[in-house]
Amino acid sequence: MKYRETLYKNYHTNQSGRASLTDAKSLFVREKIRFANEILPIITYLPKDILIVDMGCGSGSLVSLLVDNHFSEVTGVDLSNEQVELAKQLGVSNVIQGDIIEWLNNQKNKMDLVLGMDIIEHFTKDELVDLLLGVKKHLKPGGKVIFRTPNLDAPLATVFANGDFTHENYMNLSSAEQLMMSVGFNDVKIHSSNMDVNGIFKNLVRKCVWAILKFKLKLTLFATGRSTRGLIFSPNLIIEATL
């Protein structure tokens, strides 16, 4: 039996839900808040009737957020039946179980926007290139993809990169740009992920500590003769690419 058959069967129970240390509803709400800070600002200018698919949608938190913000043509697709059932229990109806490429192949119209939160790291390098080439075929000219994935340049990167046994590949800003350009995307932008925590005082302390830590990281790179220009140190990368 392949490891994916075992680990994806109850992925929420044994990984995403377990790692959150809270109930599914609380995690769902927290994810929506984080996506509101990370993803919405990138797509605010887009028309509300564009065709959007969220691949590996999990509990449907991003799908729910987009619907709340009046995007009318949003579908979530996830391989895990447990995740899809959880999404429906949380009130997200436009989520289906299935393989993303098979689903795209069955669509009459090409997509305007393909999203993938915490998903592309689950593929081997060969699989990921094939996936991106497949997704690109189903994008309209000028269509966009947005992915979130662990950042290997982050301090203690293994907490995010190796915290899930099903992760297969890891990137930093440079390799993310290289990948997206190589598969045919022309306009590639890499953003920092959101790191805010609950509570005004706690978040202020976090920002101060982060400023000190980032200075030390840049100082270390300077000492090794490396430029710090354009580097990102946040735990995740937000990859935005347009055809």
Give the pLDDT confidence of 27-74 residue by residue, as tens digits.
Answer: 899 999 999 999 999 999 999 999 999 999 999 999 999 999 999 999
Structure confidence by residue, pLDDT tens digits, 93-142: 999 999 999 999 999 999 999 999 999 999 999 999 999 999 999 999 99
pLDDT at 10: 73
CATH superfamily for 3-196+231-242 is: Vaccinia Virus protein VP39 (3.40.50.150)
Task: Please give the backbone phi and psi of residue 175, each rounded to the nearest 5 degrees, phi first.
Answer: -70, -30
Higher pLDDT, 227 or 46: 46
- Asked if residue 21 has pLDDT above 60, the reply is no
Task: Please give the backbone phi and psi of residue 201, each rounded to the nearest 5 degrees, phi first.
Answer: -65, -45
In this prediction the pTM is 0.92
pLDDT at 20: 55
pLDDT at 19: 55
